[in-house]
Amino acid sequence: MKQLKIGLLGLGQVGSGVYSILNSKGTELARKCGTRLLISKIAVRNTSKRRLVAPKRSLITTSALSIVRDPELDVVVELIGGIHPAKELILAALRSGKDVVTANKALLAEHGRDLFREAQRCGRTLLFEASVGGGIPIIKATREGLAANRIRSIHSIINGTSNYVLTKMASSHVDFKEALSMAQKKGYAEANPKLDLEGIDSAHKLTLLSSLVFGGWVRFQDVFVTGISSIRSEDVSFAEEFGYTIKLLAIAKKTRSGIEAHVRPTLLPKSHVLSNVNGSYNAILMHGDEVGDILFYGRGAGSLPTGSAVVSDLIDLARMKREGLKLPAPLHLNRLHVRNVSVLESRFYLRFHVVDQPGVLARISRILGGRHVSISDVIQKERKIGGVVPLILLTHKAPERSVLRAVQAIDRLSIAKGKTQVFWIEES
């Protein structure tokens, strides 16, 4: 039987998942693709670290470079993450004639054009199923199953850590810090969870997804990002009273004026299908011109789910090699125009902290009205005469720029105590 000789860079969560799947299902997978998927070398930084799996010592090396240059290997699987040295290692692997599989969304989102160009130049294949949505086969589904469609929009929850935190804030009525510490105890959040909580991980994934489906390259720096760390438990409760949940939503749309792409805490009607995606789960809702709405749901992280996505790429490579085929380039690399979010229109949730005295609501609505921002709903529950109270307004559709300018003017008033919270509302 044919063999696909694999060099694995990294044996952390995902690397261990890949090793474990190939180790436990070797024969079954070989039957599926007519090729034995063989891990021939594994590079790790620290050989004495305790791991989830225990490969033979003879497979392990500390030299990633020796793997990418090894003429015996067919494929390099990059699972070390980060930008450097992952980028240099992938380039070296491609240049030495190897196909590459990676789960590295940060690297692809920020340097993907260089890497895909080099893969093309070298006549090699660069696959990345595990980089978006963990175990959800979203790359293959969009490239193949949805190939007949023009994708108009993506609404997605593509970071499990922040979704777990927001779910806990809503279900256990705890504040952000407590919910984060629950996530950390469960092992969901990284020691430094900034990339997850500040929306950057979601923006990396949205960059890749939108580049894949909109027929050009969306630059990561053009994707607007706000994270979830400023959400208070009172915002979660007020949103709920209005009939909404708060989710860290990654949204992209293709419009006549360009691409819209943003990641931010977003109010979604409770009846929306993504409102019920809870815990560490991910979901991606797309709208195709032929298929209509289509939803993908599953585990967006974790050793085995993400490992399963990597292995699916290896199976694809094995099948293609066996048939002597090449996958067409997955992406067009021409840059797409991304609209500045400030011109986009939406309804907004505004939570002010203001002194409770006559005329405050009138002053706020006058400033909003002056910018043509119209109010649709109001809540002000507690009454502390002369004290500070939360005042929540929902607006009708308005350009974000007008809303933000009005809020800036309101925040400068002496009646305003603290910075106003502004959240996007997505109705459909």
Q: Which of 13, 64, 14 is nearest to 41 (CA)?
A: 64
Q: How many residues bind ligand HSE (CB under 6 A)?
A: 7
- The single residue among 99, 196, 198, 235 that binds ligand HSE, judged by CB under 6 A, is 196
Q: Which is nearer to ligand HSE, 67 or 103 (CB)?
A: 103
DSSP 151: E
Does position 225 interact with ligand HSE (CB under 6 A)? The reply is no
* Planar angle of CA 268, 270, 274, nearest 5 degrees: 60
DSSP 242: T
Q: How far is the CB of 79 from ligand HSE (least distance, A)?
A: 11
DSSP 141: I
Q: Which is nearer to ligand HSE, 99 or 196 (CB)?
A: 196
Q: How far is the CB of 228 from ligand HSE (least distance, A)?
A: 12
Q: How far is the CB of 189 from ligand HSE (least distance, A)?
A: 7
Phi, psi of 90 (to 5 degrees): -65, -45
Binding mask 157-176 for ligand HSE (x = CB under 6 A): --xxx---------------
Contact yes or no for 275/235 (Cβ under 8 A): no
What is the CB neighbour count within 10 angstroms for residue 182? 18
Q: Which of 127, 123, 102 is nearest to 9 (CA)?
A: 102
Q: How far is the CB of 195 from ligand HSE (least distance, A)?
A: 7
Does position 300 interact with ligand HSE (CB under 6 A)? The reply is yes
Q: Which is nearer to ligand HSE, 105 or 351 (CB)?
A: 105
Q: Which is nearer to ligand HSE, 94 or 248 (CB)?
A: 248
Distance CA 164, CA 262 (A): 20
Residues 6 or more apart in contact with residue 181 via CB below 8 angstroms:
none
The answer to whether 205 is a known catalytic residue is: yes
Stretch that binds ligand HSE, among 153-161, 167-175, 216-224, 285-293 (CB under 6 A): 153-161
Q: Which of 164, 158, 166, 246 is nearest to 202 (CA)?
A: 158
Binding mask 1-40 for ligand HSE (x = CB under 6 A): ----------------------------------------
Burial class of residue 242, CB neighbours in 10 A (0-12, 13-18, 19+): middle
Stretch that binds ligand HSE, among 1-9, 25-33, 154-162, 419-427 (CB under 6 A): 154-162
Does position 301 interact with ligand HSE (CB under 6 A)? The reply is yes
Does position 153 interact with ligand HSE (CB under 6 A)? The reply is no
User: Which residues are paired to 285 by β-bridges?
Assistant: 155, 295
Q: Which is nearer to ligand HSE, 207 or 420 (CB)?
A: 207
Q: Which of 21, 166, 143 is nearest to 79 (CA)?
A: 21
Q: How far is the CB of 170 from ligand HSE (least distance, A)?
A: 18
Q: Within its chain, how far is the Cα of 140 from the centroid?
A: 17
Instruction: Give the binding site for ligand HSE (CB under 6 A).
Output: 159-161, 196, 201, 300-301
Question: Annotated catalytic sites, by residue?
Answer: 205
